[in-house]
Structure 1
Amino acid sequence: MVGCCCIKPAVLLAQQLHPEESDVIEFMDGDQIRGKVKQIQRGVLTLDPDQLEDMVTIKLRNIKSITARRKLYLIESVANIKYLGILEPGRGAGWVKIIQGRDTTELFIEDLDNIENMDDNFWKRLDGSASLGFSYSRSSNIGRVNESHNMTYSTRNWLFLTSGDLMYTIDNEFKGIEKADLAVQAYIEFWKKWFAVSSVQFQRSTELGLSARMQAAEGAGPILIKNRRNDLRAATGFSVQKEYSTDSINAGRAVSLEIPLFVNYYLYRLGTPYLTLQATNSVFFSVSQAGRWRADQNVTLYWKIVTHLNLNVQVYLDYDSKPPDVTAQKVDFGTVFSIGYSW
């Protein structure tokens, strides 16, 4: 009897799916567009339309109703509540009904923070962006080629993220990778306002005397602010690292332990122009080396030009109170201009 009670809601929800139907988005003026809802993120719905070749993005404030019953969606509200279900028109204009088997919840459409397509196809769950540009930094007063990318994969409970920044320098004195930051992370939210993150990271910064750093970190913390325009969260935990210096005499350091503090902030402006500001700040306090602390700070402004194309401006600052190479600089900072493509 217990097994039947557990299965029935899932069976009922499966029966409510209509995989042969197109999703329908109705605008405030009564016009409709049909296609496949790909995601909702940062106040914008992305639709793969039936009669157009390219994706269409629609601001949530312009949507009267949503009907999406082809498959299950992982839905998250600005209140950090998660649902797994389908979408139908709600009580009136600007409202949506989330159906989860026997349970039904109504939300204001603009209160939808994130919707991910729970497609069985691995590739269809991938979202990301890549950019290429040039930069100018304090390091050597020359231009550099800069590449950055990020990609996410969503499951019902976890978000997996890979990201990276790479700076390649061509100069009479130096040719090669001057600065690199590559990371893989696993992220989960719990208790409505808390999250945990695990990460593995590789870093390189010749300006700070760092040939290579391998780092693993675990952290947890609160979601401090989350609404339609702002997202602020902080975490702390522990990290373990192994460093290699650019100094050939003292090339290696023993494994060391650090206490990190992570603070991330997003600001969304959904008008014209469409802008997103991301500030990522990490501070590490060494437990193994007395008096050492370091900071990695990045502030990036994204300006969406058209559906898949962005102009990006990134300002970064890296600091190490006791760099691996004692002759190296303690501070490196710069500005990166790039053009990016998202999918």
Structure 2
Amino acid sequence: MKSLFSFYPNASKIYDYLYFPSLVHYNEQDNSKVDNHKDEVPEEFIKLQTEISLKLKPYKNILSKYYYYDDINIIHLLLGKYSFFDYVNVSDYLDALQNLDSKEIVKTIIGSLEAKETGTPKSQEARKLAEELVNDDSRLMSWINKLSYSGETKWQLLTFTKTPKESLNECINTLRSLEGIFLEYYSPVEKKIMDYGEEFILRLNNVEGDALDKITNGTLKNSMIPGEKGHMLISYFGDYSIHIYPGVGPGFIAWGMGIEEIFQKLSKREENELSDRILLFKNLGDKTRYEVLKCIASGTTSTKVIAKELGVSSATISYHISNLTTSKIIVPLHAEGRYIYVVNHETIEKCFKDLKKDLKIT
């Protein structure tokens, strides 16, 4: 049997190191990643995230310059061009980033931001735009101001582009100083993470048919895998989330170590179809989420366009799309080199059919 998925232990650890600082913004009252299924997330996970956030608090002022509330950060934007897959450890990767010149840093940031806005990760237009803006401060400022992020995030991005080399060095030096805190939490579970990764990939490759579809109860499909081979990383700190990074280098999926447990619990719960109907109406009861669904139904899938139309940030749109996806109201599709969302008519029609049956409507 041909192996579709591969697990990368070193890259998994590097990814978690780079993800770890974002927990400085963690707020258990606003855990958007699991909004539909908060009851399924163990209390231990919430306590862990809260504890780490408090540990990182002394670094919050400086980390906030590079890790934003809008769920983006400078290092992950650089991933759009500079992959860490060829590095044994995070220190060597950070060394490589520190060797970049100012123009290359800004071009990469622009290209990644434009790709995120348009939903086209390998867009030639994004690279062309980056070449133009890097030499035109006025246009660059105007372009950043039009991005669908919060005012604070746009201000930090503008500030970063003024002194990119110095700012990146400050960011990286701060990341290096967090090594002790990172290892305090990661080292005790490192073997468990690696063992799970090996076992999980073995199971995935032995599944007949669409493995991701079966593991995630239809939330993801193998067609969502970036590239020809499934580069899978296991994340401990992003325990109950799934992130897809198309990238210019080897695209990859960062699979939260605990997310499979959520899908297993939901699979059992969904044996009672009433939960699907309740979850559908719970989602439709949120006005903004309903408006997002209407936009997707009309063919508009760009977070930037939807955010502008509804007058909210792209982070808010991503939040609602995440919950519409996990509740199976919309499904992701890979089309023409980018990812789009479409309304899951089958699920919605079934829910309304069952509702009519429940209420004796003929």
- TM-score normalised over the length of structure 2: 0.23
Structure number with bigger Rg: 1
Q: Which has the higher contact order (CA 8 A, sep 6+)?
A: 2
- TM-score normalised over the length of structure 1: 0.24
Structure holding more strand per residue: 1
